[in-house]
Amino acid sequence: MRVVVTGASGNVGTALLRALPPEVEVTAVARRVPASGPPYSRADWAAVDIGMPGAEEPLADLMLGADAVVHLAWLIQPSQDERALHRTNVMGSKRVFAAAVGARVPHLVHMSSVGAYTRADKTRRVDERWPVGGIPSSSYSRHKSTVERLLDEVRRDNPYLTTSRLRPGLIMQADAASEIKRFFLGPLIRPGLLRMAVSGRIPVLPLPSGLVLQFVHADDVAEAVVRVLETRLPGAVNIAAEPVIGPRDLAELVGARHVPVPASAFRGLATATWRLHAQPTSPGWVDLALGAPILSTDRARTELGWKPTRNAREVVRELLAGMGEQDGLPQSPPLAPE
């Protein structure tokens, strides 16, 4: 099997390179090619910026003869520049899909997200039939929803092509700790404070009571991708680890007492600090965290035989410890330590 992976130097891409069997030939695509060394040396690399007009041409050349394309490339920052995000996330995805069709690749796997789903009550779980209308105030959610519609069009117009899409919760690993901190915390939260959190020395954690989230380790997401490639499972599949993590759970993980705060006040603080460029998380991310549904992973478990190797608490602990130690992979431009 030969697989082309876009965004192969990022969080999930790095885990996927570790997870793919050695007999799988990998052509890896990234805007910035990483330095040699494991796991990146197991792939043949090509530098392509999918956000640039005309990128579908070199992509199609790379995809000729491939058995599958796994599309992981996605921009989270700069959150202040939605045009740049749209150029890569939406238009870039469209170019990747067009290249796969042009090269007659038989299987296209897209990394979607829980963020593609329409808002839902946190007291119930939703399966893959829940609408993917997104949460309008979140550019990330809008873009994930839009790309799902693009993939629907590709599937409709190319009946020979098997299309698969994974919708994971929040994907974490220690190797991506510095990247995730840059994406969502910036310089506002210092490593010393994170080390205090890991050692249980944070007295209180003020969060909205509705901040209920699902996490999953990048290695477990990568294993799900491998199983999708092996089975050619069509359609959507939710990926998340148990248990569901609420604000009291997060407080317990850092040895703190949860102090409920109104969602409006929490969002207002995020808005003010984001507009002042004090931190990189836009208020749309708050809306997404408060509104995204809780996923049922029954399909992944029954049809893929997938089961996470780490529970959600372990995933959060690993991430916090990695942030405190400024962990990352120096070979990869996006994952390089701070």
Encode pLDDT of 6-36 as tens digits.
999 999 999 999 999 999 999 999 999 999 9
Please check whether the domain covering 2-171+216-240+294-301 is classified as CATH 3.30.70.141: no
Q: Would you place residue 193 in the very low, low, confident or very high pLDDT band (cuts 50, 70, 90)?
A: confident
The model's pTM: 0.96
Is the pLDDT assigned to residue 192 strictly greater than 90? Answer: no
Encode pLDDT of 91-109 as tens digits.
999 999 999 999 999 999 9
Strand ranges, E, within the chain = 2-6, 25-30, 44-47, 68-71, 107-111, 125-126, 162-168, 170-172, 204-207, 215-217, 235-239, 257-260, 294-295
Question: In the chain, what are the domain boundaries?
Answer: 2-171+216-240+294-301
Encode pLDDT of 41-92 as tens digits.
999 999 999 999 999 999 999 999 999 999 999 999 999 999 999 999 999 9
DSSP tag of 153: H
Encode pLDDT of 225-281 as tens digits.
999 999 999 999 999 999 999 999 999 998 899 999 999 999 999 999 999 999 999
